[in-house]
Amino acid sequence: MVSQSTRVAIIGGGMGGLTAAIALTRIAGVDVTVFEQASRLGEVGAGVTVAPNAARVLDALGVLDRIRSLGAVPDGHGVYLDAMGGLVTDAAWEDSAKRYQNIGMYRPDLIGALAAEVDPERIRLGHRLRSVEPLGSGVRLAFENGVEEDFDAVIGADGIHSVVRKSVDQHPDPVYSGYIVYRGVVDASRLPENWPMISQVWMGDSRHFMCYPLQQRKLFNFVAGIPSDRPLNGPWSGSAEVSELAAEFAGDGWDPRLQSFIAAIERTFWWGLFDHEPLTNWSNGPITLLGDAAHTMLPHQGQGVNQAIEDSMALATFLAAADGVDGIPEAFRRYAAVRMQRTAILQNGSRRAGAMFDAQYEFANLEKRDADIRVGRDFRRGAVFDYDAQKVAEQALTRFRRIPA
Ligand SMILES: Cc1cc2nc3c(=O)[nH]c(=O)nc-3n(C[C@H](O)[C@H](O)[C@H](O)COP(=O)(O)OP(=O)(O)OC[C@H]3O[C@@H](n4cnc5c(N)ncnc54)[C@H](O)[C@@H]3O)c2cc1C
């Protein structure tokens, strides 16, 4: 068994790293230290959906009630609309048991709620990882501020441009997808009267627009996906003019309701979208990956953070069953074997969802696109929302126990 004397470092204090810290402390009972490069924990001023598959994990970790109280549960299912606002189909928003629903979260609220569950002494800010050196047993971490420290294991939750990933294998870097999003939040009081408290996605030629409520319905999140040949070898996000965004959805080919939503926006910023082929290997001895570091994916299924939350539960379950410190590499291999399959499906599905939203799907065959979105809705409820990361990891452990290590 691993124990409180097993020292595990988590690189990255984002939503993935903080959830991993909670899960590893509460489920595996190990001694966790989170290293974050920034001088304070924070997130961009935009929204994120905590989906039922992640809500189930957060419930098992004892943090769901707080998160739900800060977020916004929609009034019912969301809708997919064509460019003029015609209904294509409704969207899945809860699991089959109707126990967990989508929760729209303002990102700074979610990071704050997760951080509040981690002992502040276990979070070391201003520590930018430079390198990971494998030792006979464990790893030596070197930070840009000159600190060096040894741990029994390290988890790379350091996002899309992960440094830890380089210590796992010769993986290619994520690539720019050719799309940017305009993102931001708008005060709900600025929206037209009786604006529906649900998620809505308008799908038009080469672009789409999504919005949903956040923060006890006081805010609405928006994400507008647009093709762009903006070179992204420099910064991959920045501030933008609302007029640029409005111009992308102007004219009589777009729903006037959508245009009235855009007219209420005061501020926006752009963000480059990166994609990654599923990695072939997530772990190397006592080093493993979690969240975007392991499975950067396009945001079109809203599953990036949700998968990081599932990863955290699976990792904690496998680590809790490890045969002491020497058993950690095997626990990490087992974790990766289970999680790589799951996240590869979502990486590929997110790419496909983007092509659907932007009417680029199957050579712009919109009838087929609409039929496939309807099928996808049921898949989303069953295969994505009903997934129980803890149960799947426990079942896998039973199978692995029958195979000699
Ligand atoms: C437009 C858009 C909408 C999205 N919507 C959703 C959604 O609705 N639902 C969803 O589930 N996902 C969504 N996502 C995806 C989601 O934002 C990411 O998957 C998620 O933020 C990844 O979390 P993470 O903790 O793995 O990485 P990050 O959030 O990137 O955190 C990594 C952390 O590591 C730190 N770090 C990096 N390098 C180092 C280093 N060398 N040393 C120390 N610290 C380091 C960083 O400062 C950061 O704090 C969306 C993404 C976009 C772009």
CATH code of residue 148:
3.50.50.60
* Per-residue pLDDT, 363: 55
DSSP 92: -
**Does some domain include residue 191?**
no
Rounded Cα distance between 295 and 272, Å, is: 17
* Length of the chain measured in residues: 405
pLDDT band per the 50, 70, 90 thresholds, residue 379:
confident
* Per-residue pLDDT, 89: 92
Say if strands 78-82 and 87-91 run parallel, antiparallel, or are unpaired.
antiparallel
Ranges 150-159, 173-182, 259-268, 333-342: which has the least confidence: 173-182
DSSP 4: T
Domain assignment of residue 44, given as a range: 7-174+276-401
* Per-residue pLDDT, 233: 64
Mean per-residue pLDDT, 306-332: 96
**Which residue of 18, 48, 212 sits with most ligand 1 atoms within 8 Å of its CB, as the best mutation to test the pocket?**
48
Q: How many CB atoms lie within 10 A of CB 381?
A: 18
Average pLDDT over the chain, rounded to an integer: 93
> Closest ligand 1 atom, CA of 15?
25
The yes-or-no verdict on residue 171 having pLDDT over 70 is yes
**Which residue of 158, 223, 311 sits with most ligand 1 atoms within 8 Å of its CB, as the best mutation to test the pocket?**
158
* Per-residue pLDDT, 355: 78
- Closest to 139 in 3D by CA, of 118, 159, 168, 173: 168
* Per-residue pLDDT, 366: 77
Ligand 1 pocket check for 346: Cβ under 6 Å: no
**Does some domain include residue 303?**
yes
Total number of domains constituting the chain: 1
The yes-or-no verdict on residue 288 having pLDDT over 60 is yes
- Closest to 214 in 3D by CA, of 78, 76, 74: 74
* Per-residue pLDDT, 403: 64
Tokens linked to 365: 């065959």
Tokens linked to 397: 């452990």
pLDDT tens readout for residues 103-114: 999 999 999 999
Instruction: Tell me which residue has its CA closest to atom 7 in ligand 1.
Output: 302
- Closest to 279 in 3D by CA, of 287, 271, 290: 290
The yes-or-no verdict on residue 322 having pLDDT over 90 is yes
The yes-or-no verdict on residue 389 having pLDDT over 70 is yes
Mean per-residue pLDDT, 314-319: 98
Ligand 1 pocket check for 305: Cβ under 6 Å: yes
* Per-residue pLDDT, 385: 97
Distance 239 CA to ligand 1 centre (A): 18
Say if strands 87-91 and 103-106 run parallel, antiparallel, or are unpaired.
unpaired
The yes-or-no verdict on residue 405 having pLDDT over 80 is no
Alpha-helical runs (H) found in 264-327: 292-295, 304-320
**Contact present, 312 and 339 (Cβ < 8 Å):** no
Instruction: Tell me which residue has its CA closest to atom 50 in ligand 1.
Output: 299
* Per-residue pLDDT, 16: 98
The yes-or-no verdict on residue 69 having pLDDT over 90 is yes
Q: How many CB atoms lie within 10 A of CB 51?
A: 28
The yes-or-no verdict on residue 145 having pLDDT over 70 is yes
> Closest ligand 1 atom, CA of 16?
25
Instruction: Tell me which residue has its CA closest to atom 41 in ligand 1.
Output: 129
Rounded Cα distance between 47 and 34, Å, is: 24
Sign of the torsion angle spanned by Cα atoms 97, 100, 104, 107? negative
- What residues contact residue 160 under an 8 Å CB cut-off, 6+ apart? 174, 274, 276, 292, 293, 296
Say if strands 31-35 and 87-91 run parallel, antiparallel, or are unpaired.
unpaired
Distance 293 CA to ligand 1 centre (A): 9
The yes-or-no verdict on residue 122 having pLDDT over 60 is yes
Tokens linked to 310: 């599932």
* Per-residue pLDDT, 61: 98
Ligand 1 pocket check for 50: Cβ under 6 Å: no
Rounded Cα distance between 48 and 31, Å, is: 29
* Per-residue pLDDT, 368: 81
Ranges 23-37, 237-251, 371-385: which has the least confidence: 371-385
In this prediction, what percent of the chain has a pLDDT beyond 90? 79
Question: Could you tell me which residues are beta bridge partners of residue 202?
Answer: 81, 209
The yes-or-no verdict on residue 265 having pLDDT over 80 is yes
Instruction: Tell me which residue has its CA closest to atom 19 in ligand 1.
Output: 304
Alpha-helical runs (H) found in 95-175: 107-115
**Does some domain include residue 253?**
no
Amino acid in the structure at residue 291: G
Ligand 1 pocket check for 310: Cβ under 6 Å: no
Rounded Cα distance between 256 and 201, Å, is: 14
Distance 386 CA to ligand 1 centre (A): 23
pLDDT band per the 50, 70, 90 thresholds, residue 53:
very high
Ligand 1 pocket check for 167: Cβ under 6 Å: no
Ligand 1 pocket check for 334: Cβ under 6 Å: no
Distance 251 CA to ligand 1 centre (A): 35
Select which of 212, 335, 361, 387 is catalytic: 212
**Does some domain include residue 304?**
yes
**Does some domain include residue 159?**
yes
The yes-or-no verdict on residue 175 having pLDDT over 80 is yes
Structure-model confidence comparison of residues 129 and 372, the more confident one: 129
pLDDT band per the 50, 70, 90 thresholds, residue 378:
confident
Tokens linked to 260: 């009235």
Rounded Cα distance between 328 and 6, Å, is: 10
Mean per-residue pLDDT, 163-186: 92
Say if strands 287-289 and 200-204 run parallel, antiparallel, or are unpaired.
unpaired
**Does some domain include residue 240?**
no
Ligand 1 pocket check for 145: Cβ under 6 Å: no
Ligand 1 pocket check for 13: Cβ under 6 Å: yes
Instruction: Tell me which residue has its CA closest to atom 20 in ligand 1.
Output: 305
pLDDT tens readout for residues 4-42: 899 999 999 999 999 999 999 999 999 999 999 999 999
Distance 311 CA to ligand 1 centre (A): 14
**Which residue of 33, 305, 306 sits with most ligand 1 atoms within 8 Å of its CB, as the best mutation to test the pocket?**
305
> Closest ligand 1 atom, CA of 143?
42
The yes-or-no verdict on residue 374 having pLDDT over 80 is yes
The gap between the terminal CA atoms of the chain, to the nearest Å, is 15
In this prediction, what percent of the chain has a pLDDT beyond 70? 96
Rounded Cα distance between 268 and 168, Å, is: 37
**Does some domain include residue 219?**
no
* Per-residue pLDDT, 359: 60
Rounded Cα distance between 250 and 258, Å, is: 10
User: Residue by residue, what is the 3-state secondary structure of 248-278?
Assistant: HCCCCCCCHHHHHHHHCCCCEEEEEEEECCC
Q: Note if 212 is an active site residue.
A: yes
Mean per-residue pLDDT, 292-318: 96
* Per-residue pLDDT, 234: 64
**Contact present, 269 and 183 (Cβ < 8 Å):** yes
Tokens linked to 262: 């855009």
**Does some domain include residue 107?**
yes
Rounded Cα distance between 241 and 268, Å, is: 7
Mean per-residue pLDDT, 152-172: 94
